[in-house]
């Protein structure tokens, strides 16, 4: 056997995998993972939820606006600053970050925390993505921001809306989080609208090597969201936006908000008594 030729082929395949695995944003740090298992993160999130008041946001009108971003990947903050500035100017009720907010490094979490302290009047709700878990990033996420699995109630005079945040940073929902989600969805009829936010995208709208959820979990989630009439599921991870409709549910995969990304955009959601409309805002 020609071991030298075999080694060259293996090396070439490895280079190809590295070049395509993180899509347009090649980040070799993605292969250094020290994440806490999803069931352990879920239990810590539940502990945080029990120790902190229920997350609610009240409005004086029946309609309100949310700004949503995914895959910011702080370090860089140029696009993130534009996103925050636009939201403040638009008087949004909340910012939502659908994972891969940072790279997992502590100094990037410090940067994020410092930027969020500049907007104390508007809450920021976020979940972890795979990049947020690199370099023991869960320890920093949990220390700075708390739970990655929780609900938020948007209270309006005409009725309340339910926001559900799921941790899919490890590419799986996990047994314990699934049980929690099923129980949470049984309360769906108490709300006008229901929006689920997570990181991993459910559908492959283009050829990509990014990971999807495990197939058995994906089938279960699609069934539940159909049966419980979830209005919208918002995801990131793939870096390019796509929209799919399955039953009553609109599935939106976000563009990355990453600095230097030519398709960078964020999503504005307009929530009214009649439904939810959305607009992609290109940077």
Does 95 fall in a domain?
Answer: yes
Name, in order, each residue with C-beta under 8 angstroms of 109's C-beta and a sequence gap of 6 or more: 102, 137, 140, 141, 144
pLDDT of residue 205: 74
Range of the domain at 38: 28-282
pLDDT of residue 118: 85
**Residue 20, domain member (yes or no):** no
60 is a domain residue: yes
- Domain annotation covers residue 180: yes
Q: Tell whether 10 is covered by a domain.
A: no
Tally of helices (H runs) and strands (E runs) in the chain: 7, 12
Give the domain CATH number at 129: 3.60.21.10
Per-residue pLDDT, 16? 44
- Look at the chain and report how many structural domains it folds into: 1
11 located within any domain: no
pLDDT at 214: 84
Q: How far is the CA of 68 from the CAs of 21, 172, 207, 270, in angstroms?
A: 24, 22, 25, 11
Q: Is residue 9 part of a domain?
A: no
Query: pLDDT (tens digit, 0 to 9) for every residue of the chain, 283 residues total?
Result: 555 554 544 544 454 444 444 444 444 444 445 568 999 999 999 999 999 988 999 999 999 999 999 999 999 999 999 999 999 999 999 999 999 999 999 999 999 999 999 888 999 999 999 999 999 999 999 999 999 999 999 999 999 999 999 999 999 999 999 999 999 999 999 999 999 999 999 998 776 666 778 889 999 999 999 999 999 999 999 999 999 999 999 999 999 999 999 999 999 999 999 999 999 999 9
**Tokens 């990355």 identify what position?**
256
pLDDT for the residue numbered 53: 84
* Distance between CA atoms of residues 153 and 54, nearest Å: 8
Query: Quick check: is 262 in a domain?
Result: yes
pTM (two decimals): 0.89
CA distance readout (Å), 71 to 61, 84, 237: 31, 15, 7
Q: Which residues contact 13 (CB under 8 A, 6 or more apart)?
A: none
């Amino acid at each position: 056997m020609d071991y030298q030729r075999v080694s060259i082929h293996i090396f070439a395949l490895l280079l190809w995998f590295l070049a395509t695995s993180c899509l347009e944003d090649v980040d070799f740090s993605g292969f250094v993972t020290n994440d806490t298992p999803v069931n352990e993160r879920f239990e810590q999130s539940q502990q945080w939820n029990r120790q902190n008041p229920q997350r609610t946001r009240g409005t004086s009108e029946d309609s309100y606006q949310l700004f949503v971003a995914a895959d910011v990947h702080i370090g860089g903050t140029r696009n993130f600053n534009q996103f925050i500035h636009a939201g403040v100017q638009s008087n949004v009720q909340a910012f939502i970050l659908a994972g891969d907010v940072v790279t997992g490094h502590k100094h990037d979490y410090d940067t994020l925390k410092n930027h969020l302290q500049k907007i104390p009047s508007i809450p920021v709700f976020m979940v972890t993505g795979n990049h947020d878990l690199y370099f023991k990033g869960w320890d920093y996420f949990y220390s700075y921001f708390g739970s990655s699995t929780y609900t938020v109630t948007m209270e309006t005079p005409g009725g309340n809306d339910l926001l559900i945040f799921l941790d899919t940073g490890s590419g799986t929902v996990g047994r314990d989080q699934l049980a929690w989600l099923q129980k949470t969805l049984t309360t769906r009829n108490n709300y006008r609208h229901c929006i689920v936010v997570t990181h991993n995208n459910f559908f492959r709208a283009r050829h990509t090597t990014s990971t999807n959820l495990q197939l058995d979990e994906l089938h279960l989630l699609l069934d539940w969201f159909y049966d419980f009439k979830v209005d919208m599921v918002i995801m990131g991870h793939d870096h390019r936006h796509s929209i799919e409709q399955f039953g009553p549910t609109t599935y939106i995969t976000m563009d990355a908000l990453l600095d230097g990304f030519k398709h960078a955009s964020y999503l504005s959601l307009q929530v009214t008594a009649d439904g939810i409309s959305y607009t992609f805002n290109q940077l």
